[in-house]
């Protein structure tokens, strides 16, 4: 372990994060566009950089499309701004507000295919940065397996659990008719990517996930579901509990029933079957009968564009969704919003009467946590780790995922509920979420794991 003292700050260890995308502070420093997804990783990165008493120095590597995937440098926090400084990572550098970054080339479109060349690039990064611990975010990516193989030290390797691929594969096509799963649109034929093949790809990712879990010595999780799912693969894993810190914007603001769109339902995603939009569209005609003003809003990629180019590019699942909308005469009750920034997502949540998570499987969906933080009424399918983060009846409503009548009943209960009852539930949910996603608590917990449990 690298122990040294610089500018009166003792540096105990070097941590290397292996991520699936560039965190926001690095993108801001480089002046390039970065993804809005997984904002909690960026939030944690900011906290480490802002914390003057941090006892670690942080390196981060991620897929990079430019310059043959080779990217390296250092970002410093100076006067409240993230600035690129030196690419060197020698022992004389101050680490109080610095993060070292590295890029590697990876085919992120065909994530089911393992590229062994990743191992040599990850080995280069590891040899240059010399981490004491590597922390891989997610089991589902090829770079996680490559990093674990390149590092070769299970005792100092930890995987932060996100989605559980082998469980997602089991439920990928729940509720999708067999003929829909088998058929292919023009887009599917060109991309060799119909629903059955998508499931096969998820199965392959699940098999790679199991290899990752066999190589790691530690996992970091937060639900009964992810603990049981991973320990069933490798009982020797050391499981560490830690909640997540969510995107900063969702800690501010409060939902109010008199300021929302009455009878509106909001889903944060719906572009692949696991998110369960097909179940919702099957249930929506009954909701329209009971509540004629009901309207469903869906964020994320719009896979149902009704234009000539859209029809050429539409996937089989997108076509299936359009068929359900047409069959249910739902054209005036469904709106696809496209991808939303964090601020726009928050705005949409606050305007909505209900936030709906209809997934066929989840671990701990951050969107549910964000809605709970804001005090938005939540209805969610009772799957995976969701019951661990939302108490049925006390903080929201859970329903059986494949029971459309139960879904309608849960939504109807919220629409028809007494205002005082709704307020009691959302206040309880918000209180729980603020405790669970408290940035200080989670930051201290992460340092505790790094310093005392690995």
Question: Is there a single domain that holds both residue 369 and residue 295?
Answer: yes
d(C-alpha 387, C-alpha 397), whole Å: 10
- Place 9 in a pLDDT band, splitting at 50, 70 and 90: very low
d(C-alpha 68, C-alpha 219), whole Å: 31
Question: Is there a single domain that holds both residue 218 and residue 265?
Answer: no
Structural domain total, the chain:
2
Q: What is the mean pLDDT of residues 158-169?
A: 93
d(C-alpha 98, C-alpha 129), whole Å: 13
8 A C-beta contact, residue 122 and residue 147: yes
Cα dihedral across residues 92, 82, 52, 16: positive or negative: negative
- Place 138 in a pLDDT band, splitting at 50, 70 and 90: confident
Question: Is there a single domain that holds both residue 224 and residue 352?
Answer: no
Question: Is there a single domain that holds both residue 9 and residue 95?
Answer: yes
Encoded tokens for 354:
């209900």
Question: Is there a single domain that holds both residue 208 and residue 193?
Answer: yes
Question: Is there a single domain that holds both residue 69 and residue 159?
Answer: yes
Instruction: Residue 98: name the closest of 65, 139, 60, 136 by CA.
Output: 60
Is residue 291 pLDDT above 80, yes or no? yes
Question: Is there a single domain that holds both residue 212 and residue 265?
Answer: no
Question: Is there a single domain that holds both residue 231 and residue 94?
Answer: yes
- Place 304 in a pLDDT band, splitting at 50, 70 and 90: low
CATH number assigned to the domain comprising residue 213: 3.40.50.2000
Residue 54 pLDDT:
60
pTM comes to 0.87
Residue 310 pLDDT:
62
Instruction: Residue 59: name the closest of 113, 128, 156, 108 by CA.
Output: 128
338 strand-pairing partners: 299
Q: Is 421 exposed, middle or buried (0-12, 13-18, 19+ CB in 10 A)?
A: exposed
Question: Is there a single domain that holds both residue 240 and residue 321?
Answer: no
d(C-alpha 183, C-alpha 119), whole Å: 37
Is residue 7 pLDDT above 60, yes or no? no
8 A C-beta contact, residue 264 and residue 353: yes
d(C-alpha 379, C-alpha 351), whole Å: 16
The 10s digit of each residue's pLDDT in 200-234 is 999 999 999 999 999 999 999 999 999 999 999 99
Within 10 A of 41 (CB to CB), how many other CB atoms are there?
23
Is residue 253 pLDDT above 60, yes or no? yes
Question: Is there a single domain that holds both residue 258 and residue 228?
Answer: no
Q: What is the 3-state secondary structure (H, E, C) of the chain?
A: CCCEEECCEEECEEEEEECCCCCHHHHHHHCCCCCCCCHHHHHHHHHHHHCCCCCEEEEEEEECCCHHHCEEEEEEEECCEEEECCCCCCCCCCCCCEEEEEEECCCCCCCCCCCCHHHHHHHHHHHHHCCCEEEEECCCCHHHHHHHHHHCCHHHEEEECCCCHHHHHHHCCCCCCHHHHHCCCHHHHHHCCCHHHHHHHHHHHHHHHHHHHHHCCEEEECCHHHHHHHHCCCCCCEEEECCCCCCHHHHCCCCCHHHCCCCEEEECCCCCHHHCHHHHHHHHHHHHHHCCCCEEEEECCCCCCCCHHHHHHCCHHHHHHHHHHHHCCCCCCEEEEECCCHHHHHHHHHHCCEEEECCCCCCCCHHHHHHHHHCCCEEEECCCCHHHHCCECCCEEEECCCCHHHHHHHHHHHHHCCHHHHHHHHHHHHHHHHHHCCHHHHHHHHHHHHHHHC
Residue in the structure block whose two tokens are 């726009």: 344
The 10s digit of each residue's pLDDT in 52-87 is 556 788 899 998 877 777 888 888 888 778 888 865
Backbone angles phi, psi at 12, to 5 degrees: -85, -35
Q: What is the mean pLDDT of residues 19-30?
A: 86
d(C-alpha 111, C-alpha 140), whole Å: 8
Question: Is there a single domain that holds both residue 202 and residue 321?
Answer: no
Domain interval for residue 363: 248-436
Question: Is there a single domain that holds both residue 17 and residue 150?
Answer: yes
Q: What is the mean pLDDT of residues 1-7?
A: 40
76-85, 187-196, 347-356: the lowest-pLDDT one: 76-85
């Amino acid at each position: 372990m690298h122990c040294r003292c610089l500018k009166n700050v003792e540096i105990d260890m070097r941590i290397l994060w292996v991520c699936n995308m560039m965190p926001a502070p690095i993108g801001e420093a480089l002046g390039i566009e970065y993804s809005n997804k997984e904002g909690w990783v960026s939030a944690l990165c900011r906290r480490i950089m802002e914390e003057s008493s941090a006892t670690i120095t942080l390196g981060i590597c991620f897929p990079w499309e430019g310059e043959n995937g080779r990217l390296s440098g250092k970002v410093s926090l100076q006067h409240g701004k993230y600035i690129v400084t030196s690419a060197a990572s020698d022992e004389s550098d101050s680490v109080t507000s610095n993060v070292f970054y590295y890029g590697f080339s990876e085919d992120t479109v065909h994530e089911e295919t393992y590229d062994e060349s990743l191992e040599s690039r990850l080995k280069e990064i590891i040899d240059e940065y010399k981490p004491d611990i590597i922390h891989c975010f997610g089991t589902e990516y090829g770079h996680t397996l490559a990093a674990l193989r390149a590092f070769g030290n299970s005792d100092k390797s930890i995987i932060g659990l996100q989605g559980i691929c082998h469980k997602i594969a089991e439920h990928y096509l729940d509720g999708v008719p067999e003929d829909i799963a088998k058929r292919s649109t023009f887009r599917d034929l060109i991309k060799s990517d119909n629903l059955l093949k998508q499931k096969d790809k998820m199965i392959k990712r699940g098999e790679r996930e199991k290899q990752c879990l066999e190589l790691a010595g530690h996992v970091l999780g937060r639900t009964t579901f992810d603990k049981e799912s991973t320990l069933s693969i490798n009982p020797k894993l050391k499981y560490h509990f830690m909640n997540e810190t969510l995107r900063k914007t969702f800690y501010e603001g409060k939902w109010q029933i008199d300021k929302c769109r009455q009878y509106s339902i909001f889903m944060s995603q719906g572009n692949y079957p696991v998110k369960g939009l097909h179940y919702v569209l099957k249930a929506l005609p009954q909701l329209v009968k009971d509540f004629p003003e009901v309207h469903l809003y869906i964020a994320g990629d719009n896979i149902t564009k009704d234009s000539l180019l859209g029809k050429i590019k539409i996937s089989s699942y997108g076509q299936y969704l359009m068929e359900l909308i047409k069959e249910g005469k739902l054209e005036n009750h469904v709106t696809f919003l496209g991808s939303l920034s964090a601020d726009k997502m928050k705005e949409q949540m606050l305007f909505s009467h209900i936030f709906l998570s209809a997934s066929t499987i989840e671990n701990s969906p951050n969107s549910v946590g964000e809605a709970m933080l804001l005090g938005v009424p939540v209805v969610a399918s009772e799957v995976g780790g969701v019951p661990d983060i939302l108490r049925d009846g006390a903080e929201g409503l859970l329903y059986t995922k494949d029971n459309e009548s139960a879904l309608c009943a849960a939504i109807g209960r919220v629409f028809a509920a007494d205002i005082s009852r709704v307020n009691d539930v959302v206040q309880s949910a918000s209180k729980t979420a603020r405790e669970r996603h408290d940035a200080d608590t989670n930051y201290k917990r992460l340092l505790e794991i790094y310093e005392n449990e690995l």
